[in-house]
Amino acid sequence: MIHNVTSATRLLDLLTAFGDDPRVRVVFTCTGSSAFDKGIAEFIAEHDLFFIPWEAALRERFDLAVSTSRGGELEKISAPLVSAPHGAGYNKKLSKNPESGIRGRGRGRGIRAVRRMAAARR
């Protein structure tokens, strides 16, 4: 399950454990739960990943689900779930901006820019 490009990169690293095993069919989906989702479609196309929409994945049964993020409604997928961190900073705390509904720094904006925007609104 892909959440953002960083988690997708880590997921590909983990999937090398399966190598070219013909018994394993890998299907990718995206929970749509990350505030940092820019570039996911391009990543999927660039790596030629077999991708199905989240809604379709929820209607399927899988032998195993692997996620490198705990975001989204992972409990809804019909499969045993293996979760792994996606790298440095994984356990960072993100606060939610109640005005925008966006967690943390927002979409590609640095924390200083967000603070300046918030101060300008006051």
Range in 45-49, 52-56, 63-67, 96-100 with the lowest mean pLDDT:
96-100
The pLDDT of residue 17 is 84
DSSP per-residue letters across 77-118: SBS-EEE---STTTT----B-TTT--BTT-SS--HHHHHHHH
Output the pTM of the full model: 0.65
Q: Which single residue is written with the structure tokens 């018994």?
A: 23
Residue 49 has pLDDT above 60, yes or no: yes
pLDDT one-digit tens code per residue, 67-119:
887 777 888 889 998 887 655 554 555 555 555 444 444 444 445 555 665 66
Distance CA 82, CA 70 (A): 10
Report how far apart, in Å, the C-alpha atoms of 70 and of each of 48, 85, 94, 115 are. 24, 8, 13, 27
What average pLDDT does the segment 31-60 reach?
85
